[in-house]
């Protein structure tokens, strides 16, 4: 590992670094220099994400260019043709990074399809397959604070990169130096035809795909005009797409939070533009009370996550977690498909796909409908990958669905972090279609004189009371990653028998691929890909999952439990959290 001063000096001496950047580097304090250069901003399995600024540990045109050159080298080596689709969100420097990315691909003889203006991430996922491209890139830091930006890579199937391609791309990116990066000017790229601007034709095809998923047209005709919706795009990319789709579905009373309507990378009314954060709903709930809205929706800056509040019978607004909204949409879709005869003849051939850290209520729901529940590792890319696997297995089975051969029919997929996908038109979570599905469900239940909170309560009564939570523990500083690594290794070598007052029954170690029952010492192999994740199965049906973040110096805790009431389930999860947090901080 190079000393931060060596890398700093290398930037100052490099002909690849422009004079304005060098001037900014010379103005840094010693502390700032160390933070900006103590490591390279890691290109991980999801791409890049970091704080904007100068230096090797920052998001800037040089780290973005290095990533683009590495991806270009990978595509050349693999002989993959079709070009790369590029989208960007409303964050600071997003458009600049997107244009520069296009210039790098053009310089490498790879056609770049660049959206003419900012677009939601799910539109990028759709466009990769629609344009038959070899890959896609979206410039976004999702729901991170304003000082962040990021670079996410998608493969030809419209899904974020997964093994084995992620490691191959990472190897190429790591092999690139800043001096290796090729660029042409934007005008030269357009003139050569290697940079093409795209827009309305792709948008129209995407929106048509979303609208084709409607299952209750009669309920929309009956209730959409009167249902009141408050929506906030949180100064991101969702504004045009969510409003347009809702309008075309017949929703006439959609009120947008004015302070958060237009794209703004500063997110001036927000500490962080995250629909998982109740503070992000402050202005939306104020407007909802003023308009007496039935539904309150928020999308994050790249519009792949949806946050929800819904008015109950008493006029209060109830918050829905990502697990709650995911289960509610899943139940609505499965109910309607069952009523319309759209589920597979053998229901076990239909799959509800979720992740190991999402609610166990998915298992109960799948059992209720007689379908199959499948779990993936954390990250929606694994749900997207499942769709591809289903399609490949179906093709190998003569076009026939058969779950015993892996040829499932994808019915719905969701994860706890406020993301879901209602169809197979895209391969990443989509807050645009989720907003439409939830609004459609609201109309369906309104026609039955039910509110969404009442529909959720009916689900709890039918399936049981489930409660989940998540917490991140920061490991700041230059040695943060090493301390995280050491903590995971200690837990791996000496599995705890208790989390607080809750007994640990079994440990799943996804890095070694082994599940071990603590009392009997019996071991069974795990079928999911290897990943640095520990999952504790707890007495009473509870669980806890621990993994290091792939983009931030944080350890992530996920936990859940079931109870005979909502209060009991919540109490059980809090006990699990206390035990897990104490374990990590020991």
Contact assessment for residue 511 and residue 535, using Cβ atoms and an 8 Å cutoff: no
16-24 LR contacts (CB < 8 Å, sep 24+): 16/62, 16/178, 16/179, 16/181, 17/62, 17/178, 21/54, 21/60, 21/62, 24/54
* Residues 6+ away with beta carbon under 8 Å from 105: 68, 72, 83, 84, 86, 111, 112, 194
Residues in the chain: 586
Please report, for residues 109, 118, 138, 179, 316, the alpha-carbon distance to residue 102 in angstroms, rounded to integers and kept in the order given: 11, 14, 11, 18, 48
What is the rounded (10 degree) CA torsion for 112, 117, 121, 123? -80
Please report, for residues 71, 164, 490, 584, 585, the alpha-carbon distance to residue 487 in angstroms, rounded to integers and kept in the order given: 33, 27, 5, 7, 9
Contact assessment for residue 255 and residue 286, using Cβ atoms and an 8 Å cutoff: no
Write phi, then psi, for 375 (nearest 5 degrees).
Answer: -115, 145
Contact assessment for residue 378 and residue 158, using Cβ atoms and an 8 Å cutoff: no
CB neighbour class for 370 (10 Å; exposed up to 12, middle 13-18, buried from 19): middle
Order of strands, sheet of 295-299, starting from the edge strand that comes earlier in the sequence: 253-256, 228-232, 295-299, 306-311, 317-320
d(CA 210, CA 208): 5
List alpha helices for 275-372, DSSP H: 282-291, 322-339, 361-369
Closest CA to 401 of 351, 353, 364: 351
Contact assessment for residue 260 and residue 307, using Cβ atoms and an 8 Å cutoff: no
Known active-site residue 142: yes
Contact assessment for residue 308 and residue 297, using Cβ atoms and an 8 Å cutoff: yes
Which tokens hold the place of 174?
């790591």
CB neighbour class for 480 (10 Å; exposed up to 12, middle 13-18, buried from 19): middle
Out of 142, 216, 386, 433, the active site residue is 142
For β-strands 514-517 and 502-509, DSSP reports them as antiparallel
The catalytic site residues sit at: 142
């Amino acid at each position: 590992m190079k000393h931060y001063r060596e890398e700093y000096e290398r930037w100052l001496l490099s002909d690849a670094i422009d004079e304005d950047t060098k001037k900014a580097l010379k103005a840094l304090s010693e502390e700032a220099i160390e933070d900006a250069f103590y490591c390279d901003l890691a290109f991980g399995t999801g791409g890049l994400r970091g704080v904007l600024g100068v230096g090797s540990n920052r998001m800037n045109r040089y780290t973005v260019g290095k990533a683009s050159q590495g991806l270009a080298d990978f595509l050349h080596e693999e002989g993959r043709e079709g070009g790369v689709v590029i989208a960007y969100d409303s964050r600071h420097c997003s458009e600049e990074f997107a244009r520069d990315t296009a210039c790098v691909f053009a310089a490498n003889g790879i056609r770049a399809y660049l959206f003419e203006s900012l677009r939601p991430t799910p539109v990028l996922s759709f466009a990769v397959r629609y344009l038959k491209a070899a890959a896609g890139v979206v410039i976004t830091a999702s729901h991170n604070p304003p000082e962040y930006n990021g670079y996410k890579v998608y493969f030809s199937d419209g899904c974020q990169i997964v093994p084995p391609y992620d490691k191959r791309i990472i190897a190429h990116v790591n092999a690139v130096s800043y001096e290796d990066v090729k660029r042409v000017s934007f005008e030269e790229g357009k003139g050569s035809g290697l940079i093409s601007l795209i827009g309305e034709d792709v948008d129209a095809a995407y929106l048509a795909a979303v609208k084709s998923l409607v299952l209750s047209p009669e309920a929309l005709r009956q209730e959409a005009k009167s249902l009141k919706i408050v929506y906030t795009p949180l100064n991101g990319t969702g504004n045009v797409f969510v409003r347009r789709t809702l309008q075309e579905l017949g929703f006439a009373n959609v009120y947008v939070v004015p302070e958060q309507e237009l794209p703004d990378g500063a997110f001036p009314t927000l500490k962080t533009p995250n629909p998982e954060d109740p503070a992000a709903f402050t202005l939306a709930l104020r407007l909802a009370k003023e308009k007496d809205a039935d539904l309150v929706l928020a999308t994050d800056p790249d519009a792949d996550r949806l946050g929800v509040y819904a008015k109950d019978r008493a006029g209060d607004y109830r918050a829905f977690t990502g697990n709650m909204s995911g289960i509610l949409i899943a139940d609505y879709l499965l109910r309607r498909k069952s009523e319309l005869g759209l589920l597979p003849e053998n229901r076990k051939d239909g799959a509800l796909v979720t992740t190991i850290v999402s609610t166990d209520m998915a298992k109960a729901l799948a059992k209720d409908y007689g379908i199959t529940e499948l779990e993936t590792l954390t990250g929606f890319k694994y749900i997207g990958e499942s769709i591809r696997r289903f399609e490949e297995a179906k093709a190998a089975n003569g076009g026939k669905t058969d779950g015993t051969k892996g040829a499932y029919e994808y019915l719905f997929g969701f994860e706890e972090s406020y993301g879901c996908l209602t169809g197979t038109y895209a391969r990443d979570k989509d807050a645009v279609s989720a907003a439409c599905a939830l609004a459609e469900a609201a109309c369906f239940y309104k026609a039955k004189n039910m509110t969404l909170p009442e529909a959720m309560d009916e689900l709890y009564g039918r399936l049981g009371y489930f409660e989940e939570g998540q917490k991140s523990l920061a490991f700041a500083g230059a040695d943060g990653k090493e301390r995280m690594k050491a903590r995971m290794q200690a837990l791996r070598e000496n599995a705890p028998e208790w989390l607080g007052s809750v007994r640990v029954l079994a440990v799943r170690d996804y890095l070694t691929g082994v599940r071990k029952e603590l009392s009997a010492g019996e071991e069974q192999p795990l079928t999911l890909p290897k990943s640095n994740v520990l999952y504790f199965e707890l007495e009473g049906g509870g669980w806890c999952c621990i993994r290091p973040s792939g983009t931030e110096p944080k350890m992530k805790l996920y936990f859940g439990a079931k109870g005979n009431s909502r209060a009991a389930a919540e109490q059980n999860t809090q006990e699990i959290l206390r035990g897990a947090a104490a374990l990590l901080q020991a």
